[in-house]
Every structure is written in structure tokens, then in C-alpha cells.
Amino acid sequence: MMRDWRWRYFLVPPLTNANLVQLLLPIPDDIRTPIPVPVDQPGIEINKWAPHTLGFRRFTATDLGGAKSDYGVRVYYALTEGGVLVPGEVIMARRFAPNFFILTSVPQSPEDLTSSFFTRREYDLIEFPPEASGKTCYIAARFENGKGQPGPWGTMISAIVP
């Protein structure tokens, strides 16, 4: 059966809608579904899971108005410590490890946060290297739709990396 499909699809002109109906297959929908820009602000709750690890839970006060797969949250974060700007590396649980910088001053707004990652999970972890222990991590989040359009900022919070 698969050989027939492959032969039919690649060697013969592609199936038409009439062919699909005749074979009792669904006709593909080529109309894109609009995903509205999120209007809600996410909340973040920080938990200290293990040494050098901050866990967080995101929540929202209202429904986002779409499927859960249409939205995610982009988490922005930065570490602060007095002194020079020092590059470092974050070990992210279940994802690529981005670089981070230790800020020389306290961030005044979420736009000052230097690193970010995207997640669709309600609970997630940020693992830091041992030299980040004792530094203050500032975290802010905002919802993004499937097209990468961000919503409003949530509240910026801070925690000390254990």
C-alpha cells in the first residue's frame, strides 16, 4: 500500500480533491488559523529545587482564549553581582544551554534582562553552574503566541541561586 502511495504521489501528478474524496481521505485545510496576540500577563512562582537550580511555575489569571499549543511563555533572566561583566553558561534542564552575563547593576525593567528561553511547560527548571551560587537571579516572563508575537510583561521577581 505504501509503495502505491509513494509511486502515486511522486511519479504521477499529485492527488486532487476528487481523488481524496474517492479514497475516503480528508481534504487538507489550507486556510491558516489566526492566533491572537496574548493580552494576559503571566505570573511566575520561584522554588529552590536543588543546589544551583531554580524551579519555576508559571500561571495566568484568565484563559488565553486559544488552544494550549498556540501559546507559550518566554522567560527572561539575568544574574547580578558587584564587579565586572562576566560571561558564563547556564545548564538548562531539557534544552539547549544559552550563555548569560552577570550584570553589574540591578535591572530596572524586564528589558534589561540579558538571557531568555521559550517554554510551553507549566513547571520548568533553570540549572546554573556552581560559580553562580549566591548570586541574585532576576526573572520576568511574557506570553508569546505561535508566531512569536509577545504579550505584555509580567512582574519581575528575584531569587538567590542556592
* Domain residue ranges of the chain, discontinuous segments joined by +: 43-160
Mean pLDDT by 10 residues, the chain (162 residues): 63 76 84 83 83 80 62 86 47 45 76 86 83 84 89 89 82
Length of the chain: 162
What is the pLDDT, as a whole number, of residue 152?
A: 92
C-beta of residue 38 within 8 angstroms of C-beta of residue 145? yes
What is the pLDDT, as a whole number, of residue 71?
A: 84
**pTM for the model:** 0.70
Class of domain 43-160: mainly beta
Eight-state DSSP code of residue 101: E
Q: Where are the alpha helices (DSSP H) in the chain?
A: 2-11, 17-22
What is the pLDDT, as a whole number, of residue 150?
A: 92
Residues 85 and 82: their CA atoms lie apart, in Å, by 9
What is the pLDDT, as a whole number, of residue 98?
A: 47
